[in-house]
Chain A
């Protein structure tokens, strides 16, 4: 019989084929994304005063120049060096810190610097769900428009969490990474955790000489399975220690570490060698350039940089943007999230990804300098940091000095999770230490390390920039090469909506093709498929209808047979 299905298929095929053939005669035009349609951000944060870059003295604290476009607030540095208890009220009011955030007292060894140090940290959530409006609060961007849900140790603050009541943006103290802590060998340090978060947390001092158990304050190691119970919301715990050894170390939360560490509860802690009159910058908020180095570092180096590499899983951070109820967040994080199925999506240096890393985390150098770099990897995987144009010397592994005779030079620095490396970077143009002046990239050479949620060029990429290549605004001078970085400073780029090569030539050869109504996008395909199902069902109904007599009869016979069977049994 002339199958009706066959006819249906033939007609359908002919119809679509003719349309497609017509379309391929003329391919769609290229649509160039208009710059004016992008949400352009200024490359440098306009809220940061250029005066912050200059070398200055605040309340007697000498602060080095820092020519990057978004240097740290000098008031933070002054307060961190003197202590919030000693700095002038005028300076303190410019920091947003609480007067008891850093308390420095008691020169116990009589060498001219305070030896009792109290540091207070709080736990803050960034980019979490609000029950009030369809957005997240307080917001923190690691790149334009990129707002992963994170938690962070923040220096104890004062006042609002946002910039002001009209803004949802976090105040500048609430940011990734957890601040770098600097204490002196032999100091009696009280690291006070005030758990302002809705989950339990703790602090584990990885690599820092600390007691397993403190007589007075209890918990010392921060581990809920060995030495202490979880520090609940609303509670405070004092971690007291007197470190005997200097070195670049690590602190992090040890409650549900597989999620809490990746969420951002991780920071660098540096124990500096004991020296007379050694007033340290107790907190380096934001990491990066150290503008008031210790006496020991100044003896040997021209500059010092703290470089904290971190990685985060988008799916993990999404949990705090999906729920507001802490019980649901706990359930998804503790019982449903499976780290063994996870992948890292965000790679940061000092809490930011490219291009924001250019604002804060450039290593700005001059020829013939000796620079101390302290590297920490708090991500969950091995990283491989590569310095373009330079070989640096590894002087310390995990805070312990490597035998000076055996120290090696490399240009790729592999770092296991939690590992620290101290590097000496020398900008001597000898073809080995340095190949000369330039704007030399420094990046993770696992290629995903230079992406942000898979979109390049992002990740933890930054630069070693010689001042001759640094623009007046503090960003590397690239425009004279015809390079324009402005599209990186738009959120549309990170939303994957800008064809990245469209501006490379006049004709936008690699721009975006216009859509065609007949082109088979996913939605069209789906509707066609549905129509086909509809057709088949229609045919089936017709078939049943036309053969209804026959079906009826056969059903009847089955039933009657059944009946007979039953009857005979009885």
Chain B
């Protein structure tokens, strides 16, 4: 009888196996293309309305940059005698008249790129997508005028373990239709950006407002917030600055959905795995006399550890004997 059951079990086993194998082959295909198609969620924000009415305004006389720390290394260079003999190489822009003072009231005026929404000075300080006076269609008037100082630098990453760069704040709030001037202070000696995305495209080229400056230095720029509640991504787009902490959100009114992976504010979409590590500690040494140390050394050996565990197992087994004894007689009586 038992033998027959056994054989039957065997046969069904082999049959099931065959079908499992086929199923596995058919499943192997999907899951490969995900990677490239997806991009971060926050980048999908589209302005609610996309109107097409372009106005052209002048925005003269806006202070652009001022040095807050020691001048960058080459500012002095422009003072020096430019005796470069330019026979074939004509200077499109004459640098010889530069002097250090020019940085104080913003180089922007007599210099460099100045189209409607892209201004840049000779050190790469940049204002893009500034809006001083174009009212969003959802606003009847400016609700408030606000000045926000944003500091950026490595030192602000200190309070967020696992980051490298950060802004001093991770969130700014204004009323709808507020006119906001950002003073972006870069306290590092490298480039940082204050880049806002998802603004209405009829007012902001690419829906973007962008300040960029090599520190230590300040750059200021103005926008007018949309008339409805919304939340905008602010980040630095230098490779891995956002990923390593330089990320924040600009909240208009009540805001909308939070933006992920802002340090101290919102969780990462994808987190790393952390494991406890065998790091040396002062306490390892401090409370141990020489003899204790000797003993722990032998205990720490792999073999000793194994034996200890076996011993432990045996003890547990011994403790269980009374239990077994209690069970067995009961069974016997049942029979």
The segment out of B120-128, B171-179, B306-314 that lies at the interface is: B120-128
Interfacial chain B residues near A91, Cβ < 8 Å: 92
7 nearest interchain CB pairs?
A198-B164, A88-B92, A234-B188, A98-B124, A132-B40, A234-B154, A236-B189
| B302 at interface by CB-CB < 8 Å | no
Q: Which residues of A contact B85 (CB under 8 A)?
A: 107, 110, 112
Additional A-B contacts beyond A158-B124, A158-B212 (6; CB < 8 A): A86-B91, A86-B95, A99-B122, A124-B239, A131-B269, A325-B272
B237 touches A134 (CB 8 A): no
What are 9 A-B contacts with C-beta separation under 8 Å? A86-B89, A125-B239, A135-B36, A159-B210, A166-B39, A190-B73, A324-B244, A527-B21, A555-B324
A132 in contact with B272 (CB, 8 Å): no
Interface presence of A60 (CB below 8 A): yes
Q: What is the size category of the interface that chain A forms with chain B?
A: 35 or more
A110: which of B38, B83, B165, B261 is its contact (CB, 8 Å)? B83
B44 nearest in chain A by CB position = A166
- The residues in A between 1 and 41 inclusive whose CB is less than 8 angstroms from any CB of B are 2, 4, 7-8, 11-12, 15-16, 19
Q: Mark B22-36, 1 if CB is under 8 A from A, else 0.
A: 101100000000111
- B90 at the A/B interface (Cβ < 8 Å)? yes
Contacts A8-B6, A158-B120, A327-B162 known; A118 to B21 CB distance under 8 Å?
Answer: no
In the complex, are the beta carbons of A534 and B77 less than 8 A apart? no
Q: Report B-chain residues with C-beta under 8 Å of the C-beta of A137.
A: 240, 243
Which residues of the other chain, B, contact A122 by a CB distance below 8 angstroms?
190-191, 238
Across the interface, do A194 and B190 meet the contact criterion of CB distance under 8 Å?
Answer: yes
Residues in A neighbouring B84, C-beta threshold 8 A: 104-107, 113-114
* B243 touching A129, Cβ below 8 Å: yes
A13 to chain B, nearest CB (A): 11
Query: Which of A86, A118, A517 lies in contact with B22, CB distance below 8 A?
Result: A517
Is A357 in contact with chain B by the CB < 8 A criterion?
Answer: no
Report which B residues bind A (CB closer than 8 A).
2-3, 6-7, 9-11, 13-14, 16-18, 20-22, 24-25, 34-36, 38-43, 72-74, 77-78, 80-85, 87-93, 95, 112-113, 120-124, 126, 153-154, 161-165, 188-191, 195, 197, 206, 208, 210, 212, 214, 237-241, 243-244, 260-261, 268-272, 274, 277, 321, 324-325, 328, 331
Whether B35 lies near A118 (C-beta < 8 A) is no
Output the nearest chain A residue to B208 by Cβ-Cβ distance: A165
Number of A-B contacts (CB under 8 A): 265
Q: Is A524 in contact with chain B by the CB < 8 A criterion?
A: yes
Residues of chain A within 8 A of B153, CB atoms compared: 234
Residue of B nearest to A193 (CB): B190
B89 touches A61 (CB 8 A): yes
Which chain B residues border A190 with CB–CB below 8 Å?
Answer: 73-74
Q: When the two chains form their complex, are residues B239 and A524 in contact, meaning their CB atoms are under 8 A apart?
A: no
A562 to B321, CA, bound (A): 11
- Is the pair A133, B39 in contact by a Cβ cutoff of 8 Å? yes
Contact A527 B77 (CB under 8 A): no
Contact B35 A132 (CB under 8 A): no
Cα A51 to Cα B328 in complex, Å, equals 94
Q: Is the CB of A236 within 8 A of B190?
A: yes
Which residues A86-118 have CB closer than 8 A to chain B? 86-93, 98-100, 103-107, 110, 112-114, 116, 118
B92–A527 CB distance below 8 A: no
Partner of B112, one of A99, A112, A124, A130: A99
B82 touches A538 (CB 8 A): no
B237 touches A556 (CB 8 A): no
Q: How distant is B103 from chain A, measured CB to nearest CB, in Å?
A: 12
Contacts of A11 in B (CB 8 A): 7, 10-11
Asked whether any CB of chain B lies closer than 8 Å to the CB of A297, the reply is no
For B39, list chain A residues within 8 Å (CB).
133, 135, 166, 168
B74 cross-chain contacts in A, Cβ below 8 A? 100, 103, 118, 190
In the assembled complex, A528 has its CB within 8 A of some CB on chain B: yes
Are A158 and B328 CB-contacts (below 8 A) given A88-B92, A130-B270, A234-B153? no
**Known contacts A86-B95, A132-B40, A531-B13; is-contact A126 B239 (Cβ 8 Å):** yes
Residue among B77, B84, B270, B328 with the highest chain A CB neighbour number at 10 A:
B84
Which partner residue on chain A sits nearest B72 by CB separation?
Answer: A100
Q: Is A233 touching B123 in the complex (CB atoms < 8 A)?
A: no
Cβ of A60 and Cβ of B272 under 8 Å apart?
no
A323 CB–B CB distance under 8 Å = yes
Is B25 in contact with A515, judged by CB distance below 8 angstroms? yes
Query: Judging by beta carbons under 8 Å apart, are B17 and A531 in contact?
Result: yes
Q: Which residues of A contact B126 (CB under 8 A)?
A: 158-159
Does A48 interact with chain B (Cβ within 8 Å)?
no
* Residues of A with C-beta under 8 A to B189: 194, 234-236
A106 contacts B191, C-beta separation under 8 Å: no
A89 to B272, CA, bound (A): 44
Cβ of A535 < 8 Å from any Cβ of B? yes
A59-B90, A106-B81, A232-B154 given; A133·B40 CB < 8 A: yes
Q: Which of A532-568 contact B (CB under 8 A)?
A: 534-535, 538-539, 542, 546, 552, 555-556, 559, 562
Q: Which residue of A lies closest to B32 (CB)?
A: A495
- For window 190-211 of A, CB contacts with B under 8 Å fall at 190, 192, 194-198
A133 to B269, CA, bound (A): 7
Contact B80 A106 (CB under 8 A): yes
CB pair A161 B73 closer than 8 Å: no
Chain A residues within an 8 Å CB radius of B121: 99
A364 CA to B93 CA, complexed, in Å: 36
Min Cβ gap B197→A in Å is 6
Q: Please pick, from A88, A105, A132, A196, the residue contacting B238 in the complex, using a CB distance under 8 A.
A: A196
Chain A residues whose C-beta falls within 8 Å of the C-beta of B13 in the assembled complex: 531, 534-535
When distances are taken between beta carbons in the complex, the residues of chain B under 8 Å from A546 are: 2
B89 pairs with A82, CB closer than 8 A: yes
Task: Choose among A11, A82, A86 the residue with the greatest number of B CB atoms under 10 Å from its CB.
Answer: A86
A138 CB within 8 Å of chain B = yes
Q: Given the complex, which residues of B lie within 8 Å of A408, measured CB to CB?
A: none
Interface flag for A296 (CB, 8 Å): no
The residue in chain B whose Cβ has the minimal distance to the Cβ of A162 is: B237
Write out the residue numbers on chain A whose beta carbons fall within 8 Å of the beta carbon of B154: 232-234
Is the pair A195, B92 in contact by a Cβ cutoff of 8 Å? no
